[in-house]
């Protein structure tokens, strides 16, 4: 059974979570990946491959060589990625297209989607699944498009609730914001 909103609120206030966020230097690195992806004015095949490599450079899993995609498959993938960047939500079939592109991994797909639109797409991986679902959830259970959809729907249903919004702002304040870093030319 997925975590309840009250359980999430309690967990988010735990000293363990607060300490992990304060020490999470990788958050700053991933914010740089998000900002770099936003610099692509045009989302074409080259940009999509570059974003995928940036995401997998941050992950513990290696990216397998991207198999050949015919023109129609590339167009379908780019249609999905552009839709995400524009703020639209993908249906199951479209999520599967992104999953195939991302090593056949829904975890990799969630991170690519998050890079393109961090507001609408949150990261889904084993750590999140252990908290959201249950502690000993298996890879075969959480690495499925319907599980990502369930998670996204739950998070979106909570997103408009003021106490959740306030708590998220407090949690974000615990991490370093890369946009405050100085640029050198």
- Segment 8-65, tens digit of pLDDT: 888 888 898 888 888 877 778 888 899 999 999 999 999 999 999 999 988 888 888 8
pLDDT of 182 strictly over 60: no
Gap between the Cα atoms of 11 and 5, Å rounded: 10
Higher pLDDT, 1 or 142: 142
How many CB atoms are closer than 10 A to CB 86?
11
Predicted pLDDT of residue 185: 54
Mean pLDDT to the nearest integer, 70-95: 95
Q: Which residues of 21-36 are buried (b: 16+ CB within 10 A; e: fewer)?
A: beeeeeeeebbebbee
User: CA 99 from chain center: how many Å?
Assistant: 12
DSSP string computed for the chain: -PPPHHHHHHHHTSHHHHHHHHT-HHHHHHHHHHHHHHT-SS--HHHHHHHHHHHHHHSSSPPPPPPP--HHHHHHHHHHHHHHHTTPPPPHHHHHHHHHHTTT-HHHHHHHHHHH-TTT-----HHHHHHHT-TT--HHHHSSHHHHHHHHHHHHHHHT-HHHHHHHHHHHHTS--GGGSPP--
pLDDT at 178: 45
pTM of the predicted model, to two decimals? 0.85
Q: Express as a percent the part of the chain with pLDDT over 70.
A: 95
The answer on pLDDT for 177 being more than 80 is no
| Residue of 160, 154, 158, 159 lying closest to 1 (CA atoms) | 154
What is the Rg, in whole angstroms, of the alpha carbon atoms belonging to the chain?
Answer: 17
Compute the distance between CA of residue 11 and CA of residue 31 in angstroms, rounded to an integer: 23
Chain segment 102-132, per-residue pLDDT in tens: 999 999 999 999 999 999 999 888 888 888 8
Question: What's the mean per-residue pLDDT of the chain?
Answer: 87
């Amino acid at each position: 059974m997925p975590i309840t909103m009250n359980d999430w609120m309690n967990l988010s206030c735990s000293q363990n979570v607060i300490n992990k966020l304060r020490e999470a230097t990788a958050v700053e690195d991933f914010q740089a990946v998000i900002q770099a992806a936003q610099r692509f004015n045009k989302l074409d095949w080259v940009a999509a491959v570059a974003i995928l490599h940036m995401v997998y450079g941050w992950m513990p899993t290696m990216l397998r060589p991207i198999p050949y995609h015919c023109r129609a498959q590339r167009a379908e993938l780019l249609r999905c990625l552009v839709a995400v960047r524009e703020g639209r939500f993908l249906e199951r079939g479209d999520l599967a297209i992104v999953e195939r592109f991302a090593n056949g991994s829904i975890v990799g797909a969630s991170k690519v989607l998050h890079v393109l639109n961090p507001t609408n797409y949150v990261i889904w991986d084993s750590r999140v699944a252990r908290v959201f679902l249950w502690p000993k959830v298996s890879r075969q259970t959480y690495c499925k498009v319907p599980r990502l959809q369930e998670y996204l729907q739950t998070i979106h249903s909570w997103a408009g609730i003021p106490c959740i919004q306030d708590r998220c702002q407090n949690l974000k304040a615990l991490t370093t914001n890369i946009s405050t870093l100085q640029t050198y030319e």
